[in-house]
């Protein structure tokens, strides 16, 4: 048993046909469309069955069929797709349905003041997954699963809106569960807020769990997935367990976020796709993005172990009606052709465990329920992702479950501002370092307990060789002086460390620990009535407080940064903070398994296929034109990338061209130089023992 469609295919399409009924006709030349999709290399199509308006595109007896559509579009698509060997996944928009909302106003999601959400995403009626609406949805799932040979389902918009849901069904469920009404605006740090957030998560979790059970009950081979399954920002790991494949959309020009998503998704060992609109950045723009942009997103997805899905749409009416523009299919086709050429080196590839970054969902929830700084865009995780990718370090982002079961596979663990760690996690980390593992931690890591209260000292104080004193009173700190061991090319002057949300910590180094840098305080805390120059004050007072501490513990070693260095880097982009971080890593692990010297645009991903290693070098630079959106229109090649890997090798070559790459063997390592990388190069090491 088991359907491995998402493991053996890499090229997908999302036919995102939210046509509505506002135009006089809605047409699709299905045969021509599917043939074009096949020519463009698509292996699966996530095909519209119910749109954001609530219109169905199949023979439904329960829902509202789009009145402008003739015939059964889904049946036709499946029939045509079969001719081309394409699998159809049923796209179903769960949350948005104006037909049901109009007839059943009690099914709408409501805020605390009982206002229904009528303009979700600017236009749409949003329904509650905890209301009886769910049975309408499940009934439609059954219609599709029983009557159409689809390969799986994709649910979109399974969201609980901000400050929702206070509908009568949620109010009654909450009361029956907690013996009290839903709090109107629960305060941070209270048990009420914690309960309310957990209730909101449960609405989605229970809907998805029951949806999967409903569909699997009809056919266990049908694959289930949804938008943002396996997404750290959603962090709904309980629901994710019911997904067969993971999906997140990602939008140029924020390319790095696709890589962050992939590094998290792949650590759950489920197949995943990154879904990007082939249009200029978002859905419904009706204008294609440059082909180089599409190719870049594909490279990010497949180099990191996933597949790429391109959203596209046909013009429903007007002089171009019924067709997806050739220009769109050509851009997708060009990208897919490149993916296809690389597939022998992608199939079954798994990330080589070298560096693990912990992103604790339990910790995220502790912060969200508290009054502690916990910005939703994860600046610490995004900052660290950027530091490591720009430093050419291969890494996975893992949750607690993987930490507890798989940490020993890794060589180095990073804890970026992980304020709350469970006792189990701390024990696991302690054992890991004692046995020779290397640990990097920053800022509040292990300093808070499960209810968001600060402890008297870090839980990992013994491992990190530090003790907590207090929080700085200044909103900025400078790192100075910096020990020669990690100073490298950092300018010899105090280096600003500023995160608008958090201050640095005053700590002491325990006996046996080494202070690699200290903090210097500003002359004063800037206010409108007391300031120097335009922003914050200049560095003036050296302090005895360590900024960077290294420590040996058991057979392992640790490195600690006493401030929000990752988020400060994310907010300021300071090259010196990145250099400080990477120099620290190098001091902690001077002989890493994989070393790459390249311009900062080159991201490294090291994947394994049995005894073969594939080192992906992806050359992506996120540029902004003075705050305006930019697209990748042309690829600027980089040259002379030096790679050194601690492995044996029989043969090294570049895929897919099979170009031999001469390599040297030295001290248990192999070394080679890749003369030029355009968008991407896959260096294949045969006979590797890493």
Binding site for Zn ion (CB under 5 A): 128, 130, 165, 167, 170
- Closer CB to Zn ion, 167 or 596, in the complex: 167
- Closer CB to Zn ion, 127 or 332, in the complex: 127
- Shortest Cβ distance from residue 199 to Zn ion (Å)? 10
Quick one: 657 exposed, middle or buried, by C-beta within 10 A (0-12, 13-18, 19+)? Answer: exposed
Give Cα separations from 144 to 72, 100, 101, 151, 312 (angstroms): 12, 18, 22, 11, 22
Closest CA to 410 of 357, 350, 337, 470: 357
- Tell me the C-alpha distance between 34 and 45, whole Å: 9
DSSP per-residue letters across 184-248:
SSPPTTSHHHHHHHHHHHHHHHHHHHHHHHHHHHH-TTSEEEEBTBT-TTT--HHHHTT-SSEEE
User: Going edge to edge, which strands form the sheet with 539-553?
Assistant: 395-398, 355-358, 412-415, 438-442, 556-561, 539-553, 514-522, 477-482, 495-497
Buried/exposed code over 266-276 (b: 16+ C-beta within 10 A; e: otherwise): bbbebbbbbbb
- Shortest Cβ distance from residue 130 to Zn ion (Å)? 5
- Closer CB to Zn ion, 128 or 466, in the complex: 128
- Shortest Cβ distance from residue 203 to Zn ion (Å)? 7
- Closer CB to Zn ion, 111 or 147, in the complex: 111
- Closer CB to Zn ion, 204 or 364, in the complex: 204
- Tell me the C-alpha distance between 56 and 92, whole Å: 9
Give Cα separations from 350 to 266, 269, 303 (angstroms): 8, 8, 10
- Closer CB to Zn ion, 18 or 108, in the complex: 108
- Tell me the C-alpha distance between 547 and 583, whole Å: 14
- Shortest Cβ distance from residue 204 to Zn ion (Å)? 11
* Eight-state DSSP code of residue 502: B
Answer yes or no: are the C-beta atoms of 478 and 539 closer than 8 Å. Answer: yes
- Shortest Cβ distance from residue 238 to Zn ion (Å)? 19
DSSP per-residue letters across 262-320:
HHHHGGGT--EEEEEESBSSSTT--SBPPHHHHHHHHHHHHHTT-EEEEEE----SSTT
- Closer CB to Zn ion, 130 or 351, in the complex: 130
Kindly compute the dihedral angle of the four CA atoms of residues 348, 352, 353, 356, in this order, to the nearest 10 degrees: -90
- Shortest Cβ distance from residue 690 to Zn ion (Å)? 51
- Shortest Cβ distance from residue 104 to Zn ion (Å)? 12
- Shortest Cβ distance from residue 217 to Zn ion (Å)? 25
* H or E segment to which residue 670 belongs: strand 669-677
- Tell me the C-alpha distance between 552 and 568, whole Å: 27
- Closer CB to Zn ion, 155 or 338, in the complex: 155
Answer yes or no: are the C-beta atoms of 583 and 595 closer than 8 Å. Answer: no
- Closer CB to Zn ion, 170 or 224, in the complex: 170
Other Cβ atoms closer than 10 A to 423? 10
- Shortest Cβ distance from residue 113 to Zn ion (Å)? 14
Structure tokens at 681: 């190069």
Contacts of 243 (CB under 8 A, 6+ apart): 208, 212, 224, 225, 226, 229, 230, 270
Crossing angle between the packed helical segments 133-147 and 191-218, to the nearest 10 degrees = 30
- Closer CB to Zn ion, 47 or 107, in the complex: 107
- Tell me the C-alpha distance between 506 and 519, whole Å: 9
- Shortest Cβ distance from residue 241 to Zn ion (Å)? 23
- Shortest Cβ distance from residue 154 to Zn ion (Å)? 23
- Shortest Cβ distance from residue 165 to Zn ion (Å)? 3
- Closer CB to Zn ion, 131 or 304, in the complex: 131
* Location of structure tokens 């491995």: 4
- Shortest Cβ distance from residue 471 to Zn ion (Å)? 40
- Closer CB to Zn ion, 155 or 458, in the complex: 155
- Closer CB to Zn ion, 167 or 369, in the complex: 167
Q: Where are the alpha helices (DSSP H) in 397-487?
A: 400-406, 423-434, 461-464, 484-487
- Shortest Cβ distance from residue 450 to Zn ion (Å)? 28
- Shortest Cβ distance from residue 683 to Zn ion (Å)? 52
- Tell me the C-alpha distance between 658 and 418, whole Å: 43
DSSP per-residue letters across 509-573:
EPTT-EEEEEEEEESS--BTTB-SSSSSPPEEEEEEEEEEEEEEETTEEEEEESS-HHHHHHHH-
* Eight-state DSSP code of residue 107: G
- Closer CB to Zn ion, 130 or 443, in the complex: 130
- Closer CB to Zn ion, 108 or 380, in the complex: 108
Opening angle at CA 561, ends 556 and 562, nearest 5: 130
- Closer CB to Zn ion, 144 or 165, in the complex: 165
């Amino acid at each position: 048993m088991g359907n491995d469609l998402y493991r053996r295919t890499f090229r997908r399409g999302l036919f995102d046909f939210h046509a509505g009924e506002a135009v006089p006709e809605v047409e699709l030349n299905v045969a021509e469309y599917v043939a074009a999709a096949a020519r463009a290399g698509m292996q699966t199509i996530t095909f519209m069955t119910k749109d954001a308006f609530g219109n169905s595109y199949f023979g439904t007896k329960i829902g509202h069929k789009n009145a402008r559509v003739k015939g059964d579009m889904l049946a036709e698509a499946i029939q045509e797709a079969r001719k081309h060997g394409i699998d159809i996944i049923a796209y179903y928009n769960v949350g948005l349905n104006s037909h049901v909302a109009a007839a059943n106003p009690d099914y709408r999601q409501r805020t605390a003041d009982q206002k229904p959400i009528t303009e979700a995403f600017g236009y749409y009626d949003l329904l509650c997954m905890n209301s009886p609406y769910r049975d309408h949805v499940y009934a439609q799932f059954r219609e599709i699963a029983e009557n159409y040979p689809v390969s799986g389902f994709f649910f979109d918009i399974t969201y609980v809106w901000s400050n929702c849901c206070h509908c009568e069904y949620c109010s009654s469920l909450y009361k029956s569960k907690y013996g009290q009404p839903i709090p109107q605006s629960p305060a941070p740090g209270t048990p009420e807020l914690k309960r309310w957030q957990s209730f909101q998560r449960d609405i989605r979790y229970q809907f998805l769990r029951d949806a999967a059970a409903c569909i699997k009950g009809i056919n266990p081979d049908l694959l289930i997935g949804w938008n943002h399954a396996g997404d750290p920002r959603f962090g709904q790991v309980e629901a994710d367990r019911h997904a067969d494949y993971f999906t997140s959309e990602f939008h140029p020009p924020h390319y790095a976020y696709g890589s962050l998503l992939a590094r998290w998704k792949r650590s759950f060992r489920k197949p995943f796709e990154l879904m990007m609109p082939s249009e200029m950045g978002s859905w419904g723009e009706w204008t294609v993005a440059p082909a180089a942009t599409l190719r870049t997103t594909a490279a990010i997805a497949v180099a990191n172990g996933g597949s790429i899905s391109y959203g596209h749409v046909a013009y429903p009416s007007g002089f171009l009606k019924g067709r997806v523009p050739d220009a769109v299919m050509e851009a997708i086709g060009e990208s897919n052709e490149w993916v296809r050429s690389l597939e022998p080196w992608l199939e079954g590839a798994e990330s080589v465990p070298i560096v693990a970054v912990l992103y604790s969902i339990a910790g995220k929830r502790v912060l969200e329920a508290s009054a502690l700084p916990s910005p939703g865009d994860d600046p610490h995780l995004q900052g660290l992702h950027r530091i490591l990718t720009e430093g050419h370090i291969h890494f996975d982002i893992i949750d607690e479950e993987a930490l507890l079961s798989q940490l020993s596979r890794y060589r180095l663990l990073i804890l970026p501002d992980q304020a709350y760690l469970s006792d189990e996690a701390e024990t696991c980390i302690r054992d890991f370092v004692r046995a020779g593992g290397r640990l990097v931690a920053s800022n509040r890591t292990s300093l808070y307990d499960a209810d968001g209260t600060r402890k008297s000292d870090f839980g990992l104080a013994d491992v990190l060789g530090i003790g907590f004193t207090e929080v700085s009173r200044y909103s900025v700190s400078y790192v100075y002086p910096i020990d020669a061991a990690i100073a490298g090319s950092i300018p010899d002057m105090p280096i600003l460390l500023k995160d608008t949300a958090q201050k640095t910590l005053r700590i002491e180094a325990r006996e046996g620990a080494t202070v690699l840098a200290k903090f210097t305080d500003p002359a004063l805390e800037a206010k409108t009535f007391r300031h120097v120059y335009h922003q914050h004050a200049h560095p003036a007072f050296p302090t005895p407080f360590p900024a960077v501490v290294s420590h040996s513990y058991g057979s392992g070693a640790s490195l600690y940064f006493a401030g929000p260095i990752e988020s400060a880097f994310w907010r300021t982009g300071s090259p010196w903070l990145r250099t400080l971080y990477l120099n620290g890593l190098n001091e902690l692990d001077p002989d890493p398994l994989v070393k790459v010297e390249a311009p900062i645009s080159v991201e490294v991903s090291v994947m394994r296929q049995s005894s073969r290693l594939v080192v992906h070098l992806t050359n992506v630079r996120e540029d902004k034109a003075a705050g305006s959106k930019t697209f990748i229109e042309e690829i600027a090649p980089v040259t002379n990338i030096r790679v050194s890997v601690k492995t044996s090798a029989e043969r090294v070559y570049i895929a897919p061209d099979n170009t031999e790459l001469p390599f040297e063997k030295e001290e248990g390592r192999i070394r080679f130089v890749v003369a030029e990388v355009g968008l991407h190069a896959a260096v294949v090491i045969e006979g590797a023992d890493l």
